[in-house]
């Protein structure tokens, strides 16, 4: 386990987020994007906002700064604004990952609270796994909406990005 492995894994995470957005979410009608779905956090829009806010929250904590204030779905109706915010969170995460060193992976990044015993590598795996889980949920809902989706297997990314 080393920092380069995590950078590679997060490049996959970011690539899958973009593939999902560009190929499946951007073409949705406003109604499809905002329709309440019991399977998700309320709608495709809500699920996307959840994903970006969780990434922001964990990586902000790792950086020792406050995450951006959560945004209510009703106030976050413009896909261009959502994409811009998601891009900003990705750039912040990339900045953190660029400075990641092997010796940091076995440190405990949080001094107190329920996460105080977590090792950095555990946090990084959790955030990436969380993204995979919610993208899979989105793929199911998008398929139900008639959107052609694809696989998000990490191995397919590895084949194309050794």
Q: How confident is the model at residue 1 (pLDDT cuts 50, 70, 90)?
A: confident
What is the rounded distance in angstroms from the CA atom of residue 115 to the CA atom of residue 112?
7
Report pLDDT digits (tens) over 112-145: 999 999 999 999 999 999 999 999 999 999 998 8
The owner of tokens 């973009």 is 18
CATH of domain 9-96+129-160: 1.20.120.450
Pick from 9, 10, 21, 12: nearest CA to 138: 21
Find residue 37's DSSP bridge partners.
42
What is the rounded distance in angstroms from the CA atom of residue 155 to the CA atom of residue 159?
6
How far is the CA of 25 from the CAs of 1, 22, 30, 159, in angstroms? 34, 6, 10, 25
- Token pair recorded at residue 21: 């957005």
User: Looking at residue 109, what is its pLDDT?
Assistant: 96
Q: What is the pLDDT of the chain when averaged over all its residues? A: 91
User: Looking at residue 78, what is its pLDDT?
Assistant: 81
pTM for this predicted structure: 0.91
Report pLDDT digits (tens) over 49-79: 899 999 999 999 999 998 877 776 555 778 8
Instruction: Provide the sign of the torsion angle of the four alpha carbons 125, 120, 56, 116, taken in this order.
Output: positive
Pick from 72, 70, 77: nearest CA to 34: 77
User: Looking at residue 150, what is its pLDDT?
Assistant: 86
Q: How confident is the model at residue 37 (pLDDT cuts 50, 70, 90)?
A: confident
- Is 67 strand, coil or helix? coil
How far is the CA of 17 from the CAs of 6, 23, 38, 55, 90, in angstroms? 16, 10, 22, 12, 10
For the chain, the structural domain boundaries read 9-96+129-160
Contacts of 111 (CB under 8 A, 6+ apart): none
User: Looking at residue 151, what is its pLDDT?
Assistant: 87
In 10 A of CB 75, how many CB atoms?
9
The owner of tokens 């700064």 is 65
């Amino acid at each position: 386990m080393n920092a380069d492995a995590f950078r590679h894994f997060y490049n996959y995470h970011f690539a899958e987020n973009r593939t999902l957005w560009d190929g499946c979410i951007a073409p949705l009608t406003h109604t499809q994007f905002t329709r309440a779905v019991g399977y998700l956090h309320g709608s495709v829009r809500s699920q996307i906002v959840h994903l970006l806010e969780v990434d922001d929250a964990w990586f902000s904590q790792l950086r020792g700064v406050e995450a951006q204030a959560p945004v209510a779905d009703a106030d976050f109706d413009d896909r261009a604004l959502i994409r811009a915010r998601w891009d900003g969170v990705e750039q912040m995460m990339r900045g953190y990952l660029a400075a990641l060193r092997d010796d940091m992976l076995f440190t405990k990044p949080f001094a107190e609270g329920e996460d105080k015993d977590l090792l950095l590598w555990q946090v990084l795996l959790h955030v990436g796994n969380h993204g995979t889980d919610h993208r899979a949920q989105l793929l199911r809902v998008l398929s139900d909406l008639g959107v052609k989706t694809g696989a998000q297997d990490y191995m397919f990314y590895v084949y194309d990005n050794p």
